Amino acid sequence: MIIRIFVVSLGLLLLTACKNPEAKKPEVPADSTVNADTSNPVAAPPENKDTSTVADIHSNNDSVIYLNASGRLSDLTVDIKKDYQRVYISVPVNDTKKLNAVLKPEGKNRNVRFNQIELPDKKTDGPFGLSVAYSTKKNGTYGLIIGRNNMAEGTVKGPVNVHIVLE
Annotated domain spans of the chain:
64-166
92 phi and psi, to 5 degrees?
Answer: -70, 130
Tell me if 76 sits within 8 A of 89, measured CB to CB. Answer: yes
Q: Which CATH architecture has domain 64-166?
A: Sandwich (2.60)
Confidence of residue 19 (pLDDT cuts 50, 70, 90): low
Residue 70: pLDDT band by 50, 70, 90 thresholds? confident
Average pLDDT over residues 32-56: 39
Cα–Cα distance, 126 to 137 (Å, whole number): 17
Band (pLDDT 50/70/90 cuts) for residue 62 is confident
Q: What is the pLDDT of residue 13?
A: 58
> Residue 152: pLDDT above 70?
yes
**What does the pLDDT read at residue 162?**
97
Which element (helix H / strand E) includes 102? strand 98-105
96 in Cβ contact with 59 (< 8 Å): no
The β-bridge partners of 91 are 142
In this prediction, residues 48-70 reach a mean pLDDT of 62
Which residue from 154, 36, 137, 45 is spatially nearest to 103, judged by alpha carbons?
154
